[in-house]
Amino acid sequence: MNLQVDDNIVLKQLELIDAPDIFTAIDTQREHLGPFLPFVETTKQLSDTQAFVESVVNSPKERLEYTFTIRVNGRMAGLIGLKDIDRANKKTEIGYWLSRDFLRQGIMTRSVSTLCDFAYGELDINRIQIKCAVANTRSRNIPLRLGFHLEGIERAGELLTGGVFTDLAVYSKLKGEWPEELKGEMKGKMPTEPDACR
């Protein structure tokens, strides 16, 4: 399954063949991705990424979590997906990361917007949340730009590389708060993009 963001950007549902591209992106950008993504430190070889991709692709249907590679003109630019889907309560969380070469082009803002459309529409999700390390200001700009509400700070919410806990800013948006002007492709320039978000 693909989700078309615009003429140049597509969200392509994760497949086993994507593992080498994902591992290369992680392995060549450890300084860029590592500070806010703990899995970077434990991803030491291709087999680690292959194991992750297999766990996603081979999930039972009732526990399927939608994970997509972000493709820009065919190039792998990052990952985005829905995690911890609670179908009974119609809620989920969006996580994402973007490669260094694709920052400051509005790619992630538009990708998150498209994934929200999919979650609210196709999956009938009512609540989407995004959690970002409080120090990751560029990542926090994404939910703010899309009109998410800051609910509060989850103290020591995630253990980062080096055994350091970080507080997480928790943002949410309900289906009824997703206005027409934010549906589909975002308009206008998006000058800053995130390093990473959980």
The domain that holds 115 is classified in CATH as: 3.40.630.30
Q: Which pLDDT score is estimated for 62?
A: 74
Query: What is the tens place of the pLDDT at every residue in 84-134?
Result: 999 999 999 999 999 999 998 999 999 999 999 999 999 999 999 999 999
Q: Which pLDDT score is estimated for 163?
A: 87
Query: What is the tens place of the pLDDT at every residue in 122-163?
Result: 999 999 999 999 999 889 999 999 999 999 999 999 998 888
Query: What is the tens place of the pLDDT at every residue in 59-80?
Result: 887 778 899 999 999 999 999 9
CA distance 159 to 137: 18
Say yes or no to pLDDT of 40 above 80.
yes
Say yes or no to pLDDT of 188 above 60.
no
Q: Which pLDDT score is estimated for 80?
A: 98
How far is the CA of 177 from the CAs of 24, 28, 141, 180, in angstroms? 38, 39, 18, 9
Q: How many CA atoms lie within 13 A of 58 on its CB side?
A: 7
Say yes or no to pLDDT of 192 above 70.
no
> What is the span of the domain harbouring residue 31?
2-197
Q: Which pLDDT score is estimated for 148?
A: 96
Query: What is the tens place of the pLDDT at every residue in 26-39?
Result: 999 999 998 899 88
DSSP state of 102: G
Q: Which pLDDT score is estimated for 183?
A: 53
DSSP state of 184: S
Largest CA distance in the chain: 43
Q: Which pLDDT score is estimated for 79?
A: 97
Q: Quick one: pLDDT band at residue 191, thresholds 50, 70, 90?
A: very low
Q: How many domains does the chain have?
A: 1
